[in-house]
Structure 1
Amino acid sequence: MPVINAKHIQTGNIKGIDHDATISLIVDHSEPGHGPRLHRHPYDETWVVIEGNLTFYLADDQLEIMAGDIVIAPPGIPHKFINQGPGRSHMICIHASPTMITEWLE
């Protein structure tokens, strides 16, 4: 099983295809008021929230999320999140695909 040393992760994005893995990861640190625009994927995306208070938007749902929570967006569901602060958020985002395929909706 491969080990990816932290010093080799330049952007926080790990494409599974580069490591013979079936998933991809994003190590996310978002400042208060920030997060990605609305988008969707043809596979599940799962977030493990390590630190922070965030608002997740999944389709028509608005969810208040905090450290320790896990959020799952099913395939094709539009989603985004915003860090509500007061500090920087820290999450691991798991893409159920060896490559990241994103359709930006805004």
Structure 2
Amino acid sequence: MLTVMPRVTMNPDTQTVQFEGAPFDAAVSFFLVDNEPGQGPDLHQHPYAEVFTIVSGRALITAGDEQIEAGREHIAVVGPDTPHGFRNLGPGRLEIVCIHANPKMITTWLQPER
């Protein structure tokens, strides 16, 4: 079976596209994120791992007590139940794919979203 659908931007300010795999019997979900400098999600966690791969730009990724600067040469994996978030370090846009190892996204926000 093949399913093709249009991309739908969930937030015009961040140009974020969301895909949840459950309706398609897919075991993963993901965000395609395109952020301006300074943008990114506040601290949150999931009961499953999340994988980040940067397409372009640079990000400051926070996971627990650790912070790393990452670019397109990096893939970052955050373990289950680990508080995490990221910010675009600029100067240009950050394009990042956030892969959720689950057919449905389950998020607990630890800070109010900006």
TM range (shorter): over 0.9
Which letter does structure 2 place at the counterpart of 1:68?
A: E
CA, structure 1 residues 90+4, in 2 after alignment: closer, same or farther (shift >3 Å)? Answer: farther
Distance 1:99 1:29 in 2: 21
Superposed CA offset, 1:33-88 (max 9, x none): 01001000000000111101110100000101111210100000000000000111
Question: What is residue 85 of structure 2 aligned with on the other side?
Answer: 80
TM-score by length of 1: 0.93
Alignment: residue pair count: 104
Do the aligned partners of 1:49 and 1:67 also contact (CA within 8 Å) in 2?
yes
Which letter does structure 1 place at the counterpart of 2:63?
A: L
Identity %: 39
Query: Does structure 1 residue 92 correspond to structure 2 residue 97?
Result: yes
1:75 aligns to what SS in structure 2? Answer: coil
Question: What is residue 4 of structure 2 aligned with on the other side?
Answer: 4
The correspondence for 1:49, drawn from 54, 72, 78, is: 54
For structure 1, the 5+ residue unaligned runs are none
TM-score by length of 2: 0.86
Alignment of 1:28-43 (within 5 A): 28-43=33-48
For structure 2, the 5+ residue unaligned runs are 10-16
Do the aligned partners of 1:22 and 1:97 also contact (CA within 8 Å) in 2?
yes
Which letter does structure 1 place at the counterpart of 2:27?
A: T
**Where does structure 1 differ by over 4 angstroms across 4 or more consecutive aligned residues?**
none
Query: Does structure 1 residue 62 correspond to structure 2 residue 67?
Result: yes
